[in-house]
């Protein structure tokens, strides 16, 4: 069972605060880990990809104090560690040593509470089970 109090994300040592409602984090490994192939004579196999890139999307409320810190890192072109810990029943940890903001979060207005969507990219990411 999902418990938001047991999920934490930080980038460059600054923890995410005031997360948006709904899905506030998505950690997506960009490419397939294995690609299969078949030759002209029917022979085949699997090839492991060395590409371990990922895209991390974090949605915060616009008034989150985290936005100010992360924006200063973005403006300075900082590349830093990203960490997501989930100590709920899914018990996973995800880590990227060199994550960077992909682009400036968009500004939007609606009747709903405004949010900022942060998109990070990293050249190497790892998602592993965590001992609870």
Give the DSSP per-residue string, 16-53: --SBPSS--EEEEE-S-SEEEEE-TTS-EEEEE---B-
Average pLDDT over residues 21-32: 85
**Which pLDDT tens digit goes with each residue over 67-117?**
999 999 999 999 999 999 887 766 678 999 999 999 899 887 777 788 999
* pLDDT reported for residue 123: 94
Question: Is 18 within 8 Å of 65 (Cβ atoms)?
Answer: yes
Q: What is the largest CA-CA distance in the chain?
A: 61
Q: What is the pTM of this model?
A: 0.82
Going from the C-alpha of 63 to that of each of 10, 16, 56, 118, the distances in angstroms are: 17, 12, 20, 14
Domain annotation for the chain: domains and CATH numbers: 4-31+47-129 (2.30.110.20)
- What does R_g of the chain's alpha carbons equal in angstroms? 18
């Amino acid at each position: 069972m999902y418990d938001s109090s047991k999920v934490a994300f930080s980038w460059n040592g600054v923890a995410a605060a005031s997360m948006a409602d709904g899905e506030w984090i998505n950690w997506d490994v960009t490419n397939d880990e294995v690609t299969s192939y078949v030759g002209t004579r029917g022979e085949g196999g699997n090839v492991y990809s060395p590409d371990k890139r990922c895209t991390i999307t974090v949605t915060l409320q616009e008034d989150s104090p985290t936005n100010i810190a992360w924006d200063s890192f973005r403006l300075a072109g900082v590349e830093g560690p990203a960490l997501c810990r989930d100590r709920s029943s899914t018990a996973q940890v995800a880590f990227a040593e060199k994550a960077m903001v992909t682009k400036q979060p968009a500004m939007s207005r609606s009747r709903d509470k405004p949010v900022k969507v942060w998109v990070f990219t990293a050249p190497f990411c790892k998602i592993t089970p965590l001992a609870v």
